Amino acid sequence: MTLARSLIAVLVSAGALLAAVPALAAPVALTPLPVKLTTAEGSFSLSARSRIFVARGDVEARGVATQLADLLRRTRGLNLAVVEGAPRAGEAGIVLARGGPAGEAYTLQSGPSGVTITAARRAGLFYGAMTLWQLATQEAGRGPVTLPAVAIEDAPRFGWRGLMIDSARHLQSVETLRAIIDAMAAHKLNTLHWHLVDDQGWRLEIKKYPKLTEVGAWRVPAGAAGRDARGRPVRYGGYYTQDQVRDLVAYAAARNVTIVPEIEMPGHALAPIVGYPALGVNPNPPAMDRNNWGIFPWLYNLDDSTFSFLNDVLDEVMDLFPSDYIHVGGDEAVKDQWKASPKIQAQMKALGLKDEHEAQSYFIQRVGKHLSARGRRLIGWDEILEGGLAPNATVMSWRGLEGAVAAARQGHDTVLSPWPLMYLDNRQSASPDEPPGRGRVVSLKDVYDFDPAPAEMTVEERKHVIGLQANAWTEHMRTDRRLETMVFPRMVALAERGWSPATTTDWADFNRRMPAEFARLDALGVAYDAVPFEPQTTLSAGADGKVTVALASSLAIGEIRYAVGGSEPTMASSRYQQPLVLAANDKLRARTFVDGRPLGRIRDLSVHPDSLLTRTGHQLKACSDKLTLLLEDDAPTTGDRAVFHIDIMNPCWIWEGADLSKGAVLTARIGQVPFNFQIGAERDRIPLRAPATPEGELEVRLGCEGERIAALPLGKAAREPALSTIAGKIPARDGRHDLCLMFTSKSVDPTFAIDRVTLKPN
């Protein structure tokens, strides 16, 4: 980090290299945007005949050249030879040269005579190669490509540009992790924070303690997903062997990505305690609770034997991960067990610790001393500040920016990772097509607008900000593809905030570059969320049985083109400017375009007046927003599952403005999800409505506190783990009314949810 800052200082004094970047010519679409980029006349034709040149004996440069050649082969089908020596006279090739800026900085010159990348260090050569690859992949396709003539001088703003992946809740394949590392490297992110341990699972092989993976790496999923067709428990989980970890660490290092492992302590420790109960405070840890989400009360105890265990574990971890930093968690350590334990209280008194916060500080500092003895640095979530912190510890601030401010004022380095902006388990738009996750919307623009130079800090305090990081917590990311979809493209915005100068905050220009970014992610084989870019429809009744259709995308990027009748929308199609009036059964197809290039998928709509009579659970208004989630159904075990929009603290939905003048038939497609949330006493505050029938009912009320006008018995639907349908009549009432839909039940487990509702007049 110091090296990067020193470089920037030199660049500023040498010629205002960090001045505002001028508007770029349309053919150039690089992300993150370089510090300085100028365009010129001419171009370079990159083909299979092109060669990559490195100095004789420069092993590092040859390695980068080989990686570039491999990436071009995989993504463009070009097989470029790597040659030691200089190009022949008149030969236009790619040259990787030494010299110039140090650290991760580089320069790149391209034109009719070829491409030259210059850097003092391997990291700079690598990032120059990634910029060249981006120049070659601005458009989708394979084969030869023309590179524009450009001059680039580039260096990072921050030294820590990170992404955290949670493998404890759901295990990802090594192949997926490699693909994510490839995408990180292509966008100049350099730190993969790997969350390997939590209450739900222990994912790292530790040879001295085999039960950590034999027991702690496996659980039975909650609800119907936890049983097979014969009713037997499903064993779910897995772990990474030490050989797999070594290979992945080396793979990442070759792409200038450092993997920082996280071993959680003193809380989030149920999985290791289930394997070795003597590590905990109380006997008989509840193994089945590991299929829950939330904050658990299980902590490590303060015995010397427990610290010996942790030291042994960390020794094996440090043998696998050469990173300067080792992350020890430290977050959400609910200390009720420590408070209630006479043994812990006696230990605290003997150690001179006045309260449980000081006990956690003692715990973290004792572990930190072991890390320091091995030449490593401790990093943890901002709770490690409580009770005092060792001087060389670094704080990752997640509870807003307060932790970062407090750390900097105490002289600690800090990484900015504030909730909710840097938490990628939040959905990216309000569309019902978004994957499961938290109900709050954190859009691509929200991430792009994040300022990693907090106004709450002084200039001196900001020097302690070593970087920023986004976090992919995977409670609701059951599949690898879903993880990728939640991470991308928001990670691209994070990359620009971490690399590009503070003056680079041009949202419109970032939008212009998004089609190229989608082409690159496609070439890398990484999934991404296109939904926020795509046209979404809002329907309303028109005259003579027609339907009025309004189109809009969540991010309002580019322009929408549409076609009626089934043809594919192109730039030659009609531009959407105002709501469309369509006849029954008309087929509407729409797509977003940016600078003439498509962005996202084509959206199809078959218009029918009955569409106005149906609303999904996502389209219904929530009665409250206490803890809103997009929860995946737990059935079927294989195949697609419904995703419910639900406030688990008050499961209730409102159909606004229902016309009951003729009465109606209400048909509801419903499902149920297990209530597997550790929320402590808050669970007792969830309202329960007494059922009138054994299986319960779906109540229909005029307003949430109003008269109940109908109750649809659930019957056998209450025993169906997947979707099922119930129906009932709604009596006539004058005017329009807000119908409040809620379930009766004796327990919060399971929690019933609405997938969609149809309201047809009698």
CATH superfamily of domain region 190-356: Glycosidases (3.20.20.80)
Q: What is the mean pLDDT of residues 665-677?
A: 97
- DSSP percent split of the chain into helix, strand, coil, nearest 5: 30, 30, 40
Phi, psi (degrees; rounded to nearest 5) at 716: -70, -15
How, if at all, do strands 664-673 and 724-730 pair? antiparallel
**pLDDT on residue 1:** 39
Does 50 have pLDDT greater than 70? Answer: yes
Catalytic residue among 332, 522, 559, 595: 332
Rounded Cα–Cα distance for residues 604 and 606 (Å): 7
Q: Measure the CA–CA gap between 416 and 454, rounded to whole angstroms.
A: 9
Mean pLDDT on 256-260: 98
Q: What is the pLDDT at residue 578?
A: 97
- Token output for 557: 């990027």
pLDDT tens for each residue of 228-245:
888 999 999 999 999 999
Which has the minimum average pLDDT: 3-17, 286-300, 486-500, 601-615? 3-17
Residue 314's pLDDT band (boundaries 50, 70, 90)? Answer: very high
> What local confidence, expressed as pLDDT, does residue 3 receive?
35
Structural domain spans, the chain = 2-154, 190-356, 534-607, 613-761
Q: Same CATH fold, 613-761 and 534-607?
A: no
**Which CATH topology does 534-607 take?**
Immunoglobulin-like (2.60.40)
On the question of pLDDT at 265 being above 90, the answer is yes
Percent of the chain with pLDDT over 90: 90
HSE (CB half, 13 Å, CA atoms) of 99?
9
Hey, is 729 helix, strand or coil? strand
Residues 119 and 106: beta-carbon distance below 8 Å: yes
Q: Residue 157: pLDDT above 70?
A: yes
| Mean pLDDT (whole number) for 197-212 | 98
Listed residue (612, 617, 586) closest to 761, CA to CA: 612
Classified as helix, coil or strand, 76 is helix
**Active-site annotation holder among 170, 193, 195, 268:** 268
Sheet holding 587-594, edge to edge: 574-575, 559-564, 587-594, 597-606
Whether 464 is a known active-site residue: answer no
- Cβ-based neighbours of 14, under 8 Å, separated by 6 or more: none
Q: With beta carbons less than 8 A apart as the criterion, state whether 517 and 492 touch.
A: yes
pLDDT at 90: 86
pLDDT tens per residue, range 509-558: 999 999 999 999 999 999 999 999 999 999 998 888 889 999 999 999 99
> Cis peptide leading into 579, omega within 30 of 0?
no
Residue linked to tokens 């989400």? 293
Percent pLDDT > 70 in the chain is 96
To the query of whether residue 699 is one of the catalytic residues in this protein, the response is: no
CATH number for the region 613-761 comes to 2.60.120.260
Of the candidates 469, 599, 593, the one whose C-alpha atom is nearest the C-alpha of residue 528 is 599
Quickly state the pLDDT bin for 5 (edges 50, 70, 90). very low
Report the distance separating Cα 52 and Cα 82, nearest Å: 5
> Around Cβ 230, how many Cβ atoms within 10 Å?
5
The pLDDT assigned to 18 comes to 32
For residue 339, what pLDDT is reported? 98
**What count of Cα atoms within 13 Å lies in the side-chain half-sphere of residue 671?**
24
pLDDT of 388: 83
Q: pTM to 2 decimals?
A: 0.94
pLDDT tens figures, 374-431: 999 999 999 999 888 887 899 999 999 999 999 999 999 999 999 999 999 999 999 9
**What pLDDT score was predicted for residue 24?**
39
**What would the mean pLDDT of 450-457 be, rounded to a whole number?**
92
Find, among 623, 712, 703, the residue nearest to 664 by Cα. Answer: 712
How far apart are alpha carbons 108 and 38 in whole angstroms?
11
Which of the pair, 335 or 1, is modelled with greater confidence?
335
Nearby residues of 526 by Cβ (< 8 Å), 6 or more positions away? 179, 180, 182, 183, 484, 488
Where helices occur in 402-506 by DSSP H, the ranges are 402-409, 444-448, 459-462, 480-487, 490-499
Confidence of residue 638 (pLDDT cuts 50, 70, 90): confident
Residue 443: phi, psi to the nearest 5? -85, 170
- Residue 49 pLDDT greater than 50, yes or no: yes
Q: Round to whole Å and give the CA distance between 570 and 211.
A: 58
Q: Does residue 736 have a pLDDT over 60?
A: yes
Is the peptide bond between 750 and the residue preceding it cis, with omega within 30 degrees of 0? Answer: yes
CA nearest 190: which of 158, 156, 162, 157?
A: 162
What mean pLDDT comes out for the span 112-119? 97
Section 731-743 average pLDDT? 95
Q: Rounded distance, CA 163 to CA 351, Å? A: 38
CATH superfamily for domain 2-154: Chitobiase/beta-hexosaminidase domain 2-like (3.30.379.10)
Mean pLDDT for all residues in the chain? 94
Query: Is 425 known to be catalytic?
Result: no
Q: What amino acid is encoded at 613 in this protein?
A: L
pLDDT at 289: 85
Bridge partners of residue 604, in order along the sequence = 589
Rounded mean pLDDT of 30-56? 96
Tell which phi-psi region holds residue 664, choosing left (phi > 0), alpha (psi between -120 and 50) or beta.
Answer: beta
350-357 mean pLDDT: 96
pLDDT score recorded for residue 23:
38
> Which among 198, 205, 289, 517 is annotated as catalytic?
198
pLDDT of res. 481:
97
